[in-house]
Amino acid sequence: MDRRKQYSRMVLKESLIELLQKKSISSITIKELCVKADINRSTFYAHFSNQYELLSTIEDEFIEDLVETLTQYHFPKEEDSLLMTEKFFDFIADNSEVCQILLSENTDIHFQKKGMNITQQFIFKDWINEMKMDKDTYEYINLFIVSGSIYVTKNWLENQQNKTPKEMAEILHRFINKGLSNMR
């Protein structure tokens, strides 16, 4: 892709992120997106069919970067989930502005679903083999833990990351592995 196309895509993404700080995706028009990015509509349509496709592209790139980051690490089994969770929070902290927008009510639920899949793949991947439970029970428990973890992450971002990534990983890891009785 030539530099003009790369630039157009970059300013469109940045403009959408900026607009999503104030408005929902459904209320953002192509016209205001183009005005914000200082490009014409035909340039927009040369890259994307609508604002939802642009949002999906931003989400996919974020997820790709997260996966690329997490696949760099290979931890011993005993430490795997804690350290992987810490690396997850490190990545979220480094990309907090975009992540906070993608987790906000101004976007759609697709990013959270993609995030759930990544969390299951990297942090909870070995649980079904370690736990003595049927697949349906595992799915319910996994869904509960992963969706809760996403909302904990969202709250952490909204609270200006008031704990370090390591502290957040330890909190989640302790709760997931030992339950509420160990949180005193």
Written as one string, the DSSP assignment of 46-78 is HH-SSHHHHHHHHHHHHHHHHHHHHTT----TT
pLDDT at residue 24 in the model: 95
Eight-class DSSP state of 39: -
- 37 band by pLDDT with thresholds 50, 70 and 90: very high
Q: How far apart are CA 60 and CA 56, in angstroms?
A: 6
Q: What is the mean pLDDT of residues 68-74?
A: 81
Q: How far apart are CA 70 and CA 64, in angstroms?
A: 10
Residue written as token pair 């330890």: 170
149 pLDDT exceeds 90? no
Residues in the chain: 184
Q: What is the dihedral of CA 146, 151, 154, 156, to 10 degrees?
A: -100
- 154 band by pLDDT with thresholds 50, 70 and 90: very high
pLDDT at residue 110 in the model: 81
Of 158, 183, 181, 160, nearest in space to 170 by CA: 183
Q: What is the mean pLDDT of residues 9-26?
A: 96
- 99 band by pLDDT with thresholds 50, 70 and 90: very high
19 pLDDT exceeds 70? yes
Here the tokens at position 21 are 């700080």
pLDDT at residue 131 in the model: 65
- 69 band by pLDDT with thresholds 50, 70 and 90: confident
Residue 125 identity (one-letter amino acid): K
Neighbours of 75 (CB within 10 A): 13
Instruction: Tell me what the pLDDT averaged over the chain comes to.
Output: 86
Q: Which long-range contacts (CB under 8 A, 24 or more apart) does 121-126 make?
A: 122/67, 122/70, 122/84, 122/88, 123/81, 123/84, 123/85, 123/88, 123/149, 124/81, 126/77, 126/80
- 124 band by pLDDT with thresholds 50, 70 and 90: low
